[in-house]
Amino acid sequence: MSENARIYQLPGPRGLDRLDHRPEPLWREVLGHRLRRLRLHRGETLLETAAAAGISPQYLSEIERGRKEPSSEMIAAVAGALDTDLLDLTEQVTAELRRESRAAPLEPTPSRATTQAMLALAA
């Protein structure tokens, strides 16, 4: 549990709760976000999931943070390691994108303004 507490102390909600500020986030961002969510939900470390997927933990970290563009085989490998598949993943990515598009209206919602203020403080 201490690991989870540590995770929540990471730099900011941006890594976990906010995607990029573009009109629409990029595929790798949403995907990565979803993969991290799944991994944390299973209570696994980068090391464990990466090992199960046959990749390095460093690389999995970058995938989750949308820093690298995983190949389709990599996506499949990580999905397998998380006991899910491409169908589930794309479904969840779709759901997340839908949530995002609803959460980004022309007028800022209170939680959105709060998040931006938090980001300004962090910067």
Partner DNA sequence: CGGTTCGTCTGCCCTCGGCAGAACGCCTCC
Partner DNA sequence: GGAGGCGTTCTGCCGAGGGCAGACGAACCG
Nearer to DNA by C-beta: 46 or 104? 46
Q: Is 89 in contact with 31 (CB distance < 8 Å)?
A: yes
**Three-state DSSP class for 26?**
coil
CA angle 34, 66, 52 (to 5 degrees): 60
Backbone φ and ψ of 65, nearest 5°:
-90, 10
- Distance of closest approach, residue 88 Cβ to DNA, in angstroms: 20
Q: Kindly tell me which residue out of 31, 55, 82, 89 binds DNA, with binding defined by CB under 7 A.
A: 55
The answer to whether residues 74 and 63 touch, using CB atoms and an 8 Å cutoff, is yes
- Give the residue, chosen from 2, 4, 9, 72, that forms a contact with its own copies under the rule CB under 8 A: 72
User: Binding of DNA at residue 110 (CB under 7 A)?
Assistant: no
Asked whether position 54 contacts DNA by CB under 7 A, the answer is: yes
- Binding to its own copies (CB under 8 A) within 84-103 occurs at 85-87, 90-91, 93-94, 97-98, 101
